[in-house]
């Protein structure tokens, strides 16, 4: 289990700003414990589409790819086993870079939830 030192959290003893402090502390905890922040590699935002393909990963680690698709590690390892937990919101079907088969995107222009079938083919489930 991950731990966080108390010095990273804000003091919530001031009742006048209690709600704001609690919300701020929740954001801190989400970032440091659940890793719910944009994923960075070597100090730069992730440029890959899909989950990481290298590096040692831990159970329940969070990953946000270059398009905003979100993934959770279901089996620790190198690079771990990942499940997509949120589709990427896009205005057009992604066509550049390597896109993993099974990648989910939500086209906000057409309103379609789509699954990448390989190459330049996107499936609309149930259509």
Give 3-44 pLDDT, tens digit per residue: 555 565 666 566 456 565 556 655 555 555 555 555 666 666
Domain range enclosing 101 = 14-123
Letter string b/e over residues 23-33, b meaning 16 or more CB atoms within 10 A of that residue's CB:
eebeeeeeebe
Q: What is the pLDDT of residues 39-62, one digit of tens each?
A: 666 666 778 899 998 889 999 988
Other C-beta atoms within 10 Å of 66: how many?
A: 16
86, pLDDT greater than 90: yes
Residue 44 lies in a domain: yes
Q: What is the pLDDT of residue 113?
A: 94
Q: Give the pLDDT confidence score for residue 119 in this predicted structure.
A: 85
Q: Domain count of the chain?
A: 1
SS3 state of residue 81: strand
Residue 116, in any domain of the structure: yes
8 domain-assigned: no
Query: Residue 1 falls within a domain, yes or no?
Result: no
Q: Assess if residue 4 is contained within a domain.
A: no
């Amino acid at each position: 289990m991950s731990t966080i030192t108390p010095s990273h959290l804000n003091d919530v003893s001031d009742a006048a700003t209690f709600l704001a402090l609690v919300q701020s502390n929740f954001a801190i905890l989400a970032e440091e414990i659940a890793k719910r922040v944009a994923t960075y590699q070597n100090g730069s935002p992730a440029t890959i589409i899909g989950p990481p393909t290298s590096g040692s990963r831990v159970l329940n680690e969070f990953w946000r790819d270059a398009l905003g698709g979100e993934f959770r590690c279901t089996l620790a390892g190198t690079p771990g086993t990942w499940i997509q937990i949120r589709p990427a919101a896009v205005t057009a079907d992604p066509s550049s870079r390597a896109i993993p088969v099974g990648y989910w995107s939500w086209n906000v222009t057409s309103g379609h939830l789509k699954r990448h079938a390989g190459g330049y083919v996107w499936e609309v489930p149930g259509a």
